Amino acid sequence: MGRKLLLEHINVPNINTFDVYRSKGGYAAVEKALKTLSPEDIVEEVKKSGLRGRGGAGFPTGMKWSFLAKPEGKPRYLVCNADESEPGTFKDRFLMTKIPHLLIEGMIIGSFALGAKTSYIYVRGEMMPQIRILEKAIAEARNAGFLGKNILGTGYDLELYVQPGGGAYICGEETALIESLEGKRGNPRIKPPFPAIAGLWGCPTVVNNVESIAAVVPIIRDGGEEYAKIGVGRSTGTKLISASGNLVKPGIYEIELGVPVEEFIYSDEYCGGIANGKRLKAVVAGGSSVPILPANLINKTINQEARLMTYESLSDGGFATGSMMGSGGFIAFDEDQCIVRNTWNFARFYHHESCGQCSPCREGTGWMEKVLHRLEYGHGKLSDIDLLVDVSRKIEGNTICPLGDAAAWPVASAIRHFRDEFEWHVTEPKFCLQRNYGLAHYADPLPKPEPVAV
Amino acid sequence: MSEIVKVSIDGIPVEVAPGTTILNAARQIGGDVVPPAMCYYSKLEGSGGKCRTCLVKVSKGSEKDPRPMPKLVASCRTTVMDGMEVQNITSPEVIEARKGIVEMLLINHPLDCPVCDQAGECSLQDLAYEHGAAKTRYEFERRKFERVDIGDKIQLHMTRCILCYRCVFVADQITDHRIHGILNRGDHSEISTYIHQAVDNDFSGNVIDVCPVGALTDKTFRFKNRVWFTKPVEAHRDCDKCCGKVTLWYKGEDVLRVTGRKDAYGEVEEFICNTCRFEQKKTADWVIEGPRNVSNDSVISSNHYGSLNLPPVVKKNLALQESNKEQLERFTRL
Ligand SMILES: Cc1cc2nc3c(=O)[nH]c(=O)nc-3n(C[C@H](O)[C@H](O)[C@H](O)COP(=O)(O)O)c2cc1C
Ligand code: SF4
Ligand code: SF4
Ligand code: FES
The tens digit of pLDDT for each residue in A226-267 reads 999 999 999 999 999 999 999 999 999 999 999 999 999 999
Structurally, chain B folds into a number of domains equal to: 4
Q: Same domain, yes or no, for B73 and B165?
A: no
Residue ranges making up the domain that contains A167:
18-229
Subunit contact A363:B105, Cβ cutoff 8 A: yes
Helix (H, G, I), strand (E, B) or coil at A409: helix
Structurally, chain A folds into a number of domains equal to: 3
> Distance between CA A418 and CA A292 in Å, rounded?
10
Q: Same domain, yes or no, for B112 and B171?
A: yes
Q: Which ligand gives the minimal distance to the CA of B72?
A: 4
Q: A4 CA to middle of ligand 1, Å?
A: 24
CATH number for the domain harbouring residue A72? 3.40.50.11540
CA–CA distances in Å: residue B234 to residues B267, B272, B301, B314:
15, 13, 15, 12
DSSP assignment of A369-392: HHHHHHHHTT---HHHHHHHHHHH
Are A155 and A340 spatial neighbours (Cβ–Cβ below 8 Å)? no
Per-residue confidence (pLDDT) for residue B176, from 0 to 100: 73
Q: Max Cα separation, chain B? A: 66
Q: Which of A95-99, A136-140, B112-116, B189-193 has the lowest mean pLDDT?
A: B189-193
Residue B207: pLDDT over 80 = yes
A115's torsion region: left (phi>0), alpha (psi -120 to 50) or beta? left
In-domain check, residue A347: yes
The pLDDT-based confidence of B306 (bands split at 50, 70, 90) is: very low
The pLDDT-based confidence of B201 (bands split at 50, 70, 90) is: confident
Beta-strand pair B180-183/B190-193: antiparallel
CATH number for the domain harbouring residue B137? 3.30.70.20
Helix (H, G, I), strand (E, B) or coil at B107: helix
> Distance between CA B115 and CA A25 in Å, rounded?
73
Give the CA angle between residues A366, A370, A373 to the nearest 5°.
135
Per-residue confidence (pLDDT) for residue A447, from 0 to 100: 77
In-domain check, residue B126: yes
Which residues of B sit within 8 Å Cβ distance of A?
48-53, 55, 71-72, 74, 77, 97, 100-101, 103-105, 107-108, 137-138, 140, 162-163, 165, 181-182, 184-189
The pLDDT-based confidence of B181 (bands split at 50, 70, 90) is: confident
For residue B101, the chain A residue with the least C-alpha distance is: A360
In-domain check, residue B103: no
Are A72 and A61 spatial neighbours (Cβ–Cβ below 8 Å)? no
Per-residue confidence (pLDDT) for residue A179, from 0 to 100: 96
Per-residue confidence (pLDDT) for residue B310, from 0 to 100: 62
* Secondary structure element (H or E) that encloses residue B25, with its range: helix B22-29
Residue B1: pLDDT over 80 = no
CA distance, residue B226 to nearest chain A CA (Å): 28
What atom in ligand 2 is closest to the CA of residue A355?
8
Chain B contact probe: residue of A363, A372, A375, A391 with most B CBs at under 10 A: A363
> Distance between CA B311 and CA B325 in Å, rounded?
13
Q: Same domain, yes or no, for B284 and B310?
A: no
ipTM over the 0.90 cut-off: no
pLDDT digit string (tens) for A416-451? 999 999 999 999 999 988 999 999 899 888 877 666
pLDDT digit string (tens) for B37-74? 999 999 999 999 999 999 999 999 999 999 999 999 99
Q: Same domain, yes or no, for A125 and A274?
A: no
The pLDDT-based confidence of A452 (bands split at 50, 70, 90) is: low
Phi, psi of A344 (to 5 degrees): -60, -45
Q: Same domain, yes or no, for B88 and B10?
A: yes
Per cent of chain B over pLDDT 90 is 63
> Distance between CA A245 and CA A334 in Å, rounded?
8
Measured between CB atoms, which of A170, A185, A190 is closest to B49? A190
Residue B80: pLDDT over 90 = yes
Which residues of A sit within 8 Å Cβ distance of B?
168, 170, 185, 190, 351-360, 362-367, 370, 387, 393-394, 397-400
Q: Same domain, yes or no, for A315 and A413?
A: no
List A424's β-bridge partners, or say none: none
What is the value of pTM for the model shown? 0.92
pLDDT digit string (tens) for B232-283? 999 999 999 999 999 999 988 899 999 999 998 999 999 999 999 999 999 9
CA–CA distances in Å: residue B207 to residues A164, A185, A352, B175, B263:
34, 21, 28, 10, 16
pLDDT digit string (tens) for A161-209? 999 999 899 999 999 999 999 999 999 999 889 999 999 999 999 999 9
Q: B203 CA to middle of ligand 3, Å?
A: 16
Q: Same domain, yes or no, for B32 and B130?
A: no
For residue B49, the chain A residue with the least C-alpha distance is: A190
Q: Same domain, yes or no, for B208 and B250?
A: no
Sequence-distant (≥ 6) Cβ neighbours of residue A106 within 8 angstroms: A213, A214, A215, A216, A217
Task: Give me the mean pLDDT over the A68-91 stretch.
Answer: 95
For residue B77, the chain A residue with the least C-alpha distance is: A190
B86 lines ligand 3 (CB under 6 A): no
E-assigned strand segments in chain B = 5-9, 12-16, 55-60, 73-74, 85-87, 148-150, 154-156, 180-183, 190-193, 216-218, 231-236, 245-251, 254-259, 287-291
Sign of CA dihedral A180, A184, A189, A193: negative
What is the Cα gyration radius of chain B?
A: 21
pLDDT digit string (tens) for A151-174? 999 999 999 999 999 989 999 999
Q: Same domain, yes or no, for A53 and A67?
A: yes
Task: Give me the mean pLDDT over the B90-102 stretch.
Answer: 95
pLDDT digit string (tens) for A275-308? 999 999 999 999 999 999 999 999 999 999 999 9
Per-residue confidence (pLDDT) for residue B152, from 0 to 100: 85
Q: Max Cα separation, chain A? A: 73
Residue whose CA lies nearest to ligand 1 atom number 2: A173
Task: Give me the mean pLDDT over the B160-173 stretch.
Answer: 92
Are B233 and B290 spatial neighbours (Cβ–Cβ below 8 Å)? yes
Per-residue confidence (pLDDT) for residue B253, from 0 to 100: 86
Subunit contact A363:B55, Cβ cutoff 8 A: no
Within 6 A (CB) of ligand 4 lie: B 37-40, 48-54, 74, 76
CA–CA distances in Å: residue A291 to residues A12, A56, A304, A405:
37, 13, 19, 11
What atom in ligand 4 is closest to the CA of residue B75?
2
C-alpha A230, offset from chain centre: 20
Closest listed residue to residue B43, CA positions, set B300, B298, B294, B272: B272
Amino acid at A89: T
Subunit contact A397:B71, Cβ cutoff 8 A: yes
Averaged confidence pLDDT in chain A: 95
Sign of CA dihedral B274, B280, B285, B286: positive
Neighbours of A90 (CB within 10 A): 21
Task: Give me the mean pLDDT over the A370-376 stretch.
Answer: 96
pLDDT digit string (tens) for B97-134? 999 999 999 999 999 999 999 999 999 999 998 888 88
Chain A contact probe: residue of B23, B47, B50, B136 with most A CBs at under 10 A: B50
Closest listed residue to residue B232, CA positions, set B297, B154, B289: B289
Subunit contact B49:A394, Cβ cutoff 8 A: no
Residue B312: pLDDT over 70 = no
Per-residue confidence (pLDDT) for residue B175, from 0 to 100: 78
Q: Return the C-alpha torsion angle A288, A289, A291, A293, nearest 10.
A: -10
Are A227 and A219 spatial neighbours (Cβ–Cβ below 8 Å)? yes
Most confident of A158-162, B145-149, B201-205: A158-162
Are A274 and A246 spatial neighbours (Cβ–Cβ below 8 Å)? yes
Closest listed residue to residue A395, CA positions, set B124, B103, B37, B106: B103
Residue ranges making up the domain that contains B262:
227-295
pLDDT digit string (tens) for A383-399? 999 999 999 999 999 99
In-domain check, residue A3: no
Q: Same domain, yes or no, for A326 and A345?
A: no
**Single residue among A273, A303, A334 that ends a domain in this structure:** A334
